[in-house]
A and B are shown apart, each in its own frame.
Chain A
Amino acid sequence: MLLHIVCIQTYTYTSYYTRIYHHLGKFFRRCRDGYKLHRYDNGEEEDEDVFPNLVEFDLNRPNPLTLRALKHVSCTINESIASSISGDLCDGLILAADALHRRTNNKKYKRKIVMITDAEHEVEVNGEQLQCVLDGLNKMDVELIVLGIGFEENIMSSVPPIQADNVESSGGNTNEDDNNRKMPAAMTFNDTSMDIDEDDNGAAEKPEAVVSMNDNNNEQGEKQPPEPVVSMEENDNGELVKEEGNPDDMKLNQDWRQPNALFPGSNPELVTAFLHGDEQSKVFSHFNDPNHASNWANKYFGGSNGRGHGDGSGYSATAVASQNDEGRHIVTVTKTEDACIKPACNDIDSLIIKRENEKLLVSIARETGGCILAANGVNLTELLQSKLPVKAGTKKSAARKVEFRLAPGMTMEVKNGKLTDKFNIPTTKKEAYQIHPETGEKLRDGTGELMTLPTRTDTRHYDSDDNEVPIDKRTDAYRKVRLSIVLLYESVCSV
């Protein structure tokens, strides 16, 4: 009976550990004092691959094979399957951090992660994982450098830093841990089972800005409405206030240009120029009387009682006739969005995704002490070299153009070059030529090189009577003379 129970218990524990063996997420299992992440412990994702659609070239001393393989990296996905492809930048960051941890943990290394991305794909962010990775990165002193293609200039200064004290709690408990652990400023929690109110020693603070990303569990092709966004904005008093809303409701910068506008009425040059331009509204005052203004507004902007709307001939605007303070009759024309240049819906989505990803990367870079390098047309290699150490072999002064930031939003292009360097002057080596006693020519050896002899310096001292002072009397000689009449002779021995 006892043996039977032992067998059952053995089977139970063996199967339990086999399950853990298969499910245990391995990344950074030792980075938080033994705290382990059980990402795959719900049993449903048993067959799911860990971080799919990521390819890694092992962290090692680079060799030509790696370089050759990297040269052949190309985009293999097409539009039809693009939405179903995983392997976003967050997964890549976790994988890179884990690779660094595996390879360089407890070793003396200078660690960096360089990410080159346009951030135009949806990112599934698991807050707990990301926080764990951030802790690990900070622990290992890993600097994250993001080379963002098409990123906003000076985005590091435009996104406000995290100020956890100002975050107001909504819907969850905000722990105030001694460790003052912060979530990155932008992340989302797609795992409903995950509680922000964490374990005893790992209390995490609430995120300040939540990036809404589609859940990976959504059905393919079904577009889920984005999650509400909670972001921190600075009010007039300089305090951070929380703003919530749907990303779809967030207006992008509207382009008010109406390039196809053709205005048939009076003053066509000014009105057409206004309609083609980026101004939203403009006041026109070329009217003689109120009827003229009202008729002009009605006729060309199609409304009644001085209120009109564009007739659709390439422009769309409303017009209001009125009288200003000076008594002049004016018509205020305000463009409407119908005829304006509008980005396509997909473009809007990608812009929102990109903007939120930028915020996320800024937050991570700020947490790790890294930086964002915005690439808008500049050569990526040169941009990356401006941050990474200078190229090998350029120890001498070689002026390079760099962007010198005087203040946020104020930059100037300067040349950066090394002007001075430590230089050790070699000591002069004195040698005596051997001269032929008869011809007086310098002697040369069989190989044609000049024949030289080493030299030595001999110093002699004389007193006032021109008597040479021996070495053991030199001190007395100086005392007697009391003048620094010392004749110094250097003789170079020559043959």
Chain B
Amino acid sequence: MNKEAVVFIVDANLTMNLPYPPQPSSSKDGGAGESNSSTRLSQAKDAVLTSIIDLMWRSKTHEAGVVVLKAGVTHHHLSEIERITDDVDVGKRIPLYLMFFMYH
């Protein structure tokens, strides 16, 4: 069976805090005391979590990653911290050119 690799992209923009499913306009003014805690983001997280758990359950070799958009911080494999150690192939070229000029 082929391994699966799924990357989930979850939007964490401010608008994702809006209630979901959208409340009808009449119930907004009603004030019936119903607090709908379900937001777009919470629903999205639930969907992603369910999918990841299902992915894990089907095969332990499946892989999943998550990217969160509009986050307050930055942390990913292309960010500044990892940039220093990542360009190994570029770094290796410098001695070759040094050697080139050394011999000429």
Seen from chain A, the residues whose Cβ lies within 8 Å of a Cβ on chain B are 6, 9-10, 13-14, 17, 20-22, 24, 26-27, 49-62, 66-67, 70-71, 73-79, 82, 85, 87-89, 91-93, 95-96, 98-100, 102-104, 107-121, 147, 149-150, 350, 376-381, 383-385, 388-389, 391-393
Contacts and interface: CB of A to CB of B under 8 A. Distances in A.
Contact of A103 (B11, B17, B63): B63
Given A116-B10, A116-B48, A59 B5 contact: yes
Given A51-B78, A55-B68, A55-B74, A67 B52 contact: yes
**7 closest residue pairs by CB, A with B:** A59-B65, A76-B72, A56-B76, A117-B11, A377-B21, A392-B57, A380-B47
Residue picked from B16, B75, B76, most chain A C-beta under 10 Å: B76
Interface in B90-104: 90-91, 93-94, 97-98, 101-102
7 contacts: A57-B65, A59-B63, A73-B10, A82-B14, A99-B77, A103-B63, A118-B13
Interface of B: 2-18, 20-22, 40-41, 43-58, 60-80, 83, 86-87, 90-91, 93-94, 97-98, 101-102
Contacts of A112: 4-7
A116 B97 contact: no
Residue picked from B6, B20, B61, B75, most chain A C-beta under 10 Å: B6
Contacts, number: 271
Nearest to B43: A380
A495 to B, nearest CB: 49
B85 to A, nearest CB: 11
Nearest to A63: B56
B83 to A, nearest CB: 7
Contacts of B64: 59-62, 66
Given A58-B65, A379-B43, A114 B20 contact: no
Contacts of A392: 54, 57-58
A50 B10 contact: no
B40 A149 contact: yes
